[in-house]
Amino acid sequence: MKTRKKLSTTAAYFLLSALLITGLSSCKKKETAADQKMTTDLAEKIVAQGTIEAELTSPPNVPKPIGKRKASKINVSLEILEQEGEMVGGVKYMYWTFGGSVPGSFIRTRVGDEVDFTLKNHPDNKLPHNIDLHAVTGPGGGAESSLVAPGQEVSFSFKTLNPGLYVYHCATAPVGMHIANGMYGLILVEPEGGLAPVDREYYIMQGDFYTKGDYGEKGLQPFDMHKALKEQPDYVVFNGNVNALVNDNAITAKVGETIRLFVGNGGPNLVSSFHVIGEIFDRVHVEGGDLINENVQTTLIPAGGAAIVEFKVNTPGTFVLVDHSIFRAFNKGALGMLKVEGDKNEKVFAGKTREGIYLPEGGTIQKMPNGTAKKEIIENKTLAQQMADGKNIFSRTCFACHQSEGQGIEGIFPPLAKSDYLNADVKRAITTVIHGLQGEITVNNVKYNSIMTSQNLSDQEVADVLTYIYNSWGNNKTVVTREMVKQNR
């Protein structure tokens, strides 16, 4: 009896504790909901003072911060343009755009603004369009009030009630097709008093594109509804095309500066795993709202969603922006660059301090050998033998960066096929394989700035792989011998 009483008392204690915790949790949720309603009610009561014209910018630029300006009546005028653009070298696509860019013009407001929105459909366009702004509290986010035919314009108004970073997009049927052709963008609603100052702000938005031709297939490529329904895009890109944020189009900063990225995902289908290689996000406004997450490596951004990420750059270099669903980055285009200039800080990052090979039998670090690896040597190889062996070496050593047909990866790794850089100087090609290459080069009139590491290959292996490359894909059929490689060690 005593034992039962003790158990009953203990059970009652835990039950009471659980009820108290549940009750407190419920109260907290109710208070949070009440707080949110109060914020919305206060925003609704804010009286707009004066009228201003909205500053609209194309990506990756953003308008000036709102700061401490009072709520105002703000005029936004956005033109829809259906226009041909380039997805990647030689691949054309008919984009449907808000403001002539993908993503569309960045719109910056603050809580309590009264927005008078005019949507114009250019007379040369073929289709009617509208706009659904996720920042709007109202039917269809404005879509029901904004359907506009080519050569017409329409106006509607709304009040910004909730701070955050919001997607807008076309919502004309078939909705997915309009979004897939580039009809999306971001609208920022700053809190009262504005966002905290930073040194630089940029606008980046991911989208997935579906074309009749495969990745890189030249010519004007139409939209492919079948691929879109299966959610199998040929291109996943930042800011509308493969080259939007690489090389000369990279965003920039200086060591010591704080960067704020307004990152959206137009979709229409894929979720983005946004990541900056070599950086950690100090702060993330999760899904563009009030919730702050700190010290984040990769943040998920749903289709039709957004996030604000902030970080300080502490060391110089090129930092690569990717969708960390990584084949999208290196094979479909979801890749950008942040180039940071300034003094090196070895306390933060010292770079390579030594290089060697790992020997399991000795466990010591030794100097990297220069072609001294013991390999079987076949004297007087025929061209056919070199081609067969060279293809095997290429498949295990070069394939990932330069691809199966030597086409490279647009904007990142240069092509080997029909390469003027390669064909101009075989000695340079040999030393590149042996010693690696870093810095800007121009291949077929396109600039590349990447890194090729030195390859631990024997003289014969270097000769074989280069002979295979030179005798493939329209190159000049040079035959590289072991002696030629040895002379250039």
Binding residues: 129, 134, 169-170, 178, 183, 324
What lies within 8 Å, CB to CB, of 395 at 6+ separation is none
Parallel, antiparallel or unpaired: strands 107-110 and 184-190: parallel
Cα distances (Å, whole numbers) of residue 218 to 53, 201, 302, 474:
41, 34, 31, 17
Which contacts qualify for 123-127: CB closer than 8 Å, 24 or more apart?
A: 123/150, 123/151, 124/82, 124/150, 125/80, 125/81, 125/82, 125/150, 126/82, 126/150, 127/82, 127/96, 127/172
Q: Measured between alpha carbons, how far is 489 from 484 in angstroms, rounded to an integer?
A: 9
Q: Which two tokens stand for residue 145?
A: 């009030």
Closest CA to 246 of 325, 331, 321, 184: 321
Which contacts qualify for 392-395: CB closer than 8 Å, 24 or more apart?
A: 393/457, 393/461, 393/464, 393/465, 393/468, 394/465, 394/468, 394/469
Contact 484, 430 (CB under 8 A): yes
Q: Which two tokens stand for residue 441?
A: 């080069």
Cα R_g (the chain), whole angstroms: 28
Other CB atoms closer than 10 Å to residue 463's CB: what's the count? 25
Parallel, antiparallel or unpaired: strands 258-267 and 200-209: parallel
283 — phi, psi (to 5°)?
A: -140, 140
What does the DSSP 8-state code read for residue 223? Answer: B
What does the DSSP 8-state code read for residue 138? Answer: S
Q: Which residues are annotated as a binding site for Cu cation?
A: 129, 134, 169-170, 178, 183, 324
Q: Which residue has the tokens 């394939």?
A: 399
Q: Measured between alpha carbons, how far is 427 from 137 in angstroms, rounded to an integer?
A: 66
Q: Where are the alpha helices (DSSP H) in 46-195?
A: 175-180
- Quick one: how far is CA 310 from the chain centroid? 15
State the sign of the Cα–Cα–Cα–Cα dihedral 382, 388, 392, 394.
Answer: positive
Q: Measured between alpha carbons, how far is 241 from 255 in angstroms, rounded to an integer?
A: 28
